[in-house]
Amino acid sequence: MASARKSRTPIVYRDKKSGRFVSESTWKRSRARGGTRYVRQRLKVRHDNSREINVLGFDGYVPVVVRSSKQTQLASQHLIAVGQFVGQIQSRRAGDIKLLKPFIGKRVGGVELLTDPDRLREFADAGLVKLDALYRENRGGRQEK
């Protein structure tokens, strides 16, 4: 069995005066002479911020990977507006097309958000509009094949 090893973060060498990156040999040469102009740094580890969510598109819920919280927030706001439009969320504005207007032409992860009122009513009548279906763990609105 292969053991899981942590990968080391790469080390870079930077010129303090100009901010440019220099080679390891330049850094070593400077250190050997007692210089302090070049510094050794570890690169910052980028944590994977990607999230797998379901976006309500024309064909139903589509699994998408997003890296931005703004994209996730847009998908969430769209799902709330759809819920209000079809009447799953109590609202005096149920059936009002103005709820969907801010989302016309918007995309999340390459999938255009569904704003067609007729198509939304079809999904609602079939029971495919689920408010908890945003995150992929909650697959309420998608049917497995």
The 10s digit of each residue's pLDDT in 60-91 is 888 998 888 899 899 999 988 988 888 777 77
pLDDT at 112: 92
| Dist CA 88 CA 80 (whole Å) | 9
Per-residue pLDDT, averaged over 41-64, amounts to 82
Q: Is the pLDDT of residue 120 over 70?
A: yes
| Encoded tokens for 33 | 């002479």
Q: Is the pLDDT of residue 116 over 80?
A: yes
Domain boundaries, the chain: 11-42, 51-126
Looking from the CA of 68 toward its CB, the CA atoms found within 13 Å total 8
Q: Is the pLDDT of residue 27 over 70?
A: yes
Q: Is the pLDDT of residue 4 over 70?
A: no
Helix residue ranges, H only, 12-68? 24-32
